[in-house]
Amino acid sequence: MREIQFREALREAMSEEMRRDQAVLLMGEEVAEYNGAYKVSQGMLDEFGPERIIDTPIAELGFAGLGVGAAMNGLRPIVEFMTFNFSLVAIDQIINSAAKMLFMSGGQYNVPMVFRGPTGNAGMLSAQHSQNFESWYANTPGLKVVVPSNPYDAKGLLKASIRDNDPVIFMESELMYGDKGEVPEGEYLIPIGKADIKREGTDVTIVSFGKIMKIALEAAQILQQDGISAEVIDLRTVRPIDYEAIVSSVKKTNRLVIVEEAWPLAAISSEITYHVQKHAFDHLDAPIHRVNSYDLPLGYAPTLIEATLPNVKRTVDAVKAVMYR
């Protein structure tokens, strides 16, 4: 297979779906003339034209609402946020319109659309531009939330999201757009709600998703040198969560560490902890440990960022804590 960048995998997914289905369109700030803030949509305006690659004003509430209306009337819009921090301006349309429309219309109106863009820390962007929104949106019935960790998954999951008849929150990372990975030439889809075992192991289960998978996998390599075999699970989607994959792994390894960039209160790691203790309590040989960002806004200085976010050392220490308690 050829190696392509994360941004190229996203572009291929959108372009293939737009060639396949005339109802698919892309709208957002700088997606057309500028080729995308992160060059994800580079060249798409030339191929599909301004009626399907649409530059919008700096008005997230407005163009998110346009997207919801378009989806209710038979189109399949992809709404790009330059960052999900800006989705706070549009959150009324996402939660009160897109997520609830099928229910409130008694099943008359599906809202087949994708809201996509980067989430989480991306370097020295300070507190207002460094938040994680996975658990925010995963808490909303009617939404699906997808967070891929590599180019292969990004392409297959985005294609599946575009074809889905429900609104999908598709979360990326500015720090991943240049990542390279193997992606096949032919078409493929990855089902929403199916986790992936990125590394098999026998002693402890490490669960993560998105760019934090890099930390989980690096920690697993270090632990292997100390004789600890870590099984690493990539959730890929956080609504729905593949609980079966996690519980099955814990029943094999008897220990669980969850690594997540978000703040600890009401996080995805909290939900997984509850579910595992309910469905696999008798299989646990140690308390479940979580590695989250510390419970404070993210600073600007690199030293503050490093001290606040999950990292490899904290992950390794958490695993050793459940191994040698």
Catalytic residue among 8, 12, 29, 129: 129
Q: What H or E segment, with its residue span, contains residue 208?
A: strand 204-208
The alpha-carbon radius of gyration of the chain (Å, integer) is: 20
Q: Tokens 């737009």 appear where?
A: 18
- Phi, psi (degrees; rounded to nearest 5) at 19: -70, -35
Q: Residue 2 and residue 243: Cα distance in Å, rounded?
A: 32
164: Cβ–Cβ under 8 A, 6 or more apart, which residues? 112, 144, 192
What's this model's pTM, rounded to 2 decimal places?
A: 0.96
Q: Residue 162 and residue 18: Cα distance in Å, rounded?
A: 10
Residue 1: per-residue pLDDT: 84
What sign results for the dihedral spanned by CA atoms 27, 119, 135, 148? positive
pLDDT > 90 in the chain, percent: 98
For 162-210, write each residue's pLDDT tens digit. Answer: 999 999 999 999 999 999 999 999 999 999 999 999 999 999 999 999 9
For 102-119, write each residue's pLDDT tens digit. Answer: 999 999 999 999 999 999
Q: Is 60 a catalytic residue?
A: yes
The mean per-residue pLDDT over the stretch 119-145 comes to: 95
| 113 neighbors 68 (Cβ within 8 angstroms) | yes
Catalytic residue among 60, 80, 174, 271: 60
Question: Could you give all domains of the chain from N- to C-terminal order, each with its CATH number?
Answer: 2-183 (3.40.50.970), 196-323 (3.40.50.920)
The closest of 233, 235, 245 to 204, measured between CA atoms, is: 233
Q: Is 289 a catalytic residue?
A: no
Strand-pair partners of 26 = 53, 78
Residue 96: per-residue pLDDT: 97
Tokens encoding 96: 């009160």
Give the angle subtended at the CA of 169 by the CAs of 9 and 152, to the nearest 5°: 25
